[in-house]
Amino acid sequence: MGKYKNLPNKVVANYPDGTQKVIFNMTEPHLVENEMSELIEWTIAHLKSGEIHPLVVTGLFIYEFLSIHPFQDGNGRLSRLLTNLLLLQSGYKFVSYLSFESLIEKKKKSYYEALMEGEKNRNTGNELINAWMLFFLDPLKEMIQRLERKYDVFRVKGGYLNERQKKIREFIGEAQPVRLSDLVKFMPGISVNTLKKDLQYLKKEQFIDSAGKNKGTVYIIKG
């Protein structure tokens, strides 16, 4: 990772039109090691205790990390890597499938504005990080929504059904309402128990619905 900075640094916003703006100056070099040690200890302790929600702990850690800006360069990129690491360690596996950093890059103006809102009163009783926390959580919400849309498309295509289950679903769609006995005739080489399990799975995954009880149960495509 390298050594902590030995020269003062600052956060500079680089906007799409090529302009730059100094957002704020960071922790002085001689204070960095102590502040980072305290931050790491606090983060580990609270992730372990569970007293504060892990998303809040992660958001607070990233805010403080960016406020300290411990390295001479690359702090922004490293903060995004640390975000993914902390989220993965807390069980949020979905961050492996979409780029958190790319979402941040698309919202750079809001990113800097959220940091500025807290940093303008840094280390005072008026320091508020509400804007930062809302900004931090928003990309995570967007990632979940994107994955849900992809999952819905995948589900509609029946991508996680085996060939037998796809065949059952197609048969029900063409011949509904369908009884188990109809399926037994349609697929004579498949055991009744296997067909029952397939029907239960299709219903659980909301591909089909059922009505009636026992031998009178019929199956239809879920609308």
Phi-psi domain of 207 (left: phi exceeds 0; alpha: psi -120 through 50; beta: other): alpha
- Predicted TM-score (pTM) of the model is 0.63
The pLDDT of residue 2 is: 65
CA distance 83 to 126: 26
CATH topology for the 10-155 domain: Fic-like fold (1.10.3290)
The pLDDT of residue 12 is: 74
Three-state DSSP class for residue 208: strand
- Residue by residue, DSSP assigns 6-75 as SS--EEEEE-TTS-EEEEEE---HHHHHHHHHHHHHHHHHHHHH-SS-HHHHHHHHHHHHHHH--SSS-H
163-221 is a CATH 3.30.70.1020 domain:
no
End-to-end CA distance of the chain: 54
Low-confidence ranges of the chain (pLDDT < 50): none
Domain ranges of the chain: 10-155, 163-221
